[in-house]
Amino acid sequence: MRNSQVTKLFALMAIVWSAVACGPNSSGSSEVSAPASGSPAAMDAAAGTTVEWPVTRCGTYSGEGCAPTSDRVDVERPKFSNPTQITNPLFPISALDSVVLLGEVDGLPFRSETTLIPGTQIVTVDGEPIEVVVSQYTAFLDGRIEEVAIDRYAQADDGSVWYLGEDVFDYRDGAVAITEGTWLAGRDGPPAMIMPAAPQAGDVFRAENVIGVVFEEIVVKAIDQTVDGPRGPVSGVVIMQELHLDGSVSDKIFAPGYGEFDSSHGADVEALALALPIDAIDEVVPAELRLLSTSAWGILENARLEDWEAANPTLSRMQNLWQELVAKNYPPRVVDAMNRALEALMSAVTEASVDASSQAAVDVAQSALDLELLYRGNVEVDRFHLHAQQLRVHAAANDLAGVTGEVAVLEWIRDRLASSLNATRLADLDAELRTLRGASNAGNVAAAADHAARAAAQLRSP
């Protein structure tokens, strides 16, 4: 099918780019090299010009609506002496191991996961190599992969944090459809300030500033605010307003220890549910929470076998377990998601619906895994298992787009896991993923489900 072939093409392009542009350097990090000969940026470099700095033109479609340049705090070139030690409390990306946002976009449930990727890269701007930290942002809409971005950040000597580019993959029907919004500092334009060192009301800066490609101008509206957080009130919050390419504006909240905390645009809301390490709980995972996850997988198997006699008592135990757990001070957005998933599971089991029960069981497991994240820190192996099960649910419904999307999710989770696996286990996983991708590309959902289950079992084995 055309969509699966597009995904395969972009995967190959990513491999080539990684091999050519991000080869290892002497420090063990990877380097994003100069643009290919013949590109506008390469021709500028050959002519002896440098990246335009600052870019003062208004980047909206109309060319209007931007603040005066005199209000901007991002027009001077930053110095980067120790760029990967990002200590800015309002954008602590180098210390954030995992972040989950929940909300609603276009009337559909929204979820995103931001995960710090081990290691660093080098981005070269006007001949200056800048070491950057890298994070993976993965967004889901109505439970299906919507976007992945590989983001690069560095902190300047004055404490401001700068954005040095992103690789964007937007998905439609489970496959990469567009990569619009991809940019790299030094190749396409200048670095962009993502957070001032000490933002003040009235400050203006551009979080993306490659005219004709990406543009976001931000105005600080208020500082030192207090909001409700995942574990209680959070003070020192900064409220900002963001101007977009189309001239529309949205509100953003940044909180100390969390970074981006809340983003709203009309009825669309993307709000922080939890972040680590700031929300970590220094205790053993409660037995009730572990049993809740195990029971969700048990009901999933009951639904596949249409064994409702077994599913009903398990569901009753799950409800009792949750009543014991809900008294804990858990992040409210995750609690709300769990409540919705359990209600859906109760209804689906009562109606003996295989498809609805299977999906609701996966949704319960996902919320339980979010809560386990608070205790365990790294749950990527279990996230792999979660999405392998989601793939099997789509395969049972003969939903090729759903299967193809989950293959992509598993491939992205692989990148989060890679540094924690030994060479043999990583090679085995990669082989299984290649076979899984091949089955998906061939439209063989049954084979894809089989290989997803094998890959997940392989990771979970001792």
pLDDT in tens, 185-195: 999 999 999 99
124 lies in the same domain as 223: yes
Rounded CA separation 350/357 (Å)? 9
299 lies in the same domain as 442: yes
Q: How far apart are the first and last CA of the chain?
A: 37
Rounded CA separation 269/247 (Å)? 19
Q: Let me know the angle formed at the C-alpha of 151 by 367 and 171, rounded to the nearest 5 degrees.
A: 65
228 lies in the same domain as 316: no
181 lies in the same domain as 322: no
Are the beta carbons of 365 and 293 closer than 8 angstroms? yes
Among the three residues 254, 276, 298, which one is the final residue of a domain in this structure? 276
Assign 387 to helix, strand or coil: helix
68 lies in the same domain as 161: yes
pLDDT of residue 226: 97
230 lies in the same domain as 148: yes
pLDDT of residue 442: 96
Q: What domain range includes position 313?
A: 287-460
Asked whether residue 282 is domain-assigned, the answer is no
- The CB density around residue 280, as the number of other CB atoms within 10 Å, is 16
How many structural domains is the chain composed of? 2
319 lies in the same domain as 195: no
Asked whether residue 300 is domain-assigned, the answer is yes
263 lies in the same domain as 293: no
Are the beta carbons of 208 and 215 closer than 8 angstroms? yes
pLDDT of residue 250: 94
429 lies in the same domain as 371: yes
236 lies in the same domain as 308: no
pLDDT of residue 8: 38
Among the three residues 242, 276, 310, which one is the final residue of a domain in this structure? 276
Are the beta carbons of 88 and 236 closer than 8 angstroms? no
Asked whether residue 302 is domain-assigned, the answer is yes
Are the beta carbons of 249 and 242 closer than 8 angstroms? yes
206 lies in the same domain as 163: yes
pLDDT of residue 181: 94
Report pLDDT digits (tens) over 11-61: 434 433 433 333 333 333 454 433 332 333 333 333 334 789 999 999 999
pLDDT of residue 40: 33
Asked whether residue 390 is domain-assigned, the answer is yes
Please report, to the nearest 10 degrees, the dihedral formed by the alpha carbons of residues 235, 236, 239, 242 taken in order: -130
Which of the residues in the chain have pLDDT under 50?
1-29, 31-49
Rounded CA separation 392/407 (Å)? 11
304 lies in the same domain as 450: yes
Antiparallel, parallel or unpaired: β 249-255 and 232-243: antiparallel
Among the three residues 249, 276, 303, which one is the final residue of a domain in this structure? 276
Asked whether residue 281 is domain-assigned, the answer is no
Are the beta carbons of 296 and 368 closer than 8 angstroms? yes
- Entry field: residues in the chain: 462
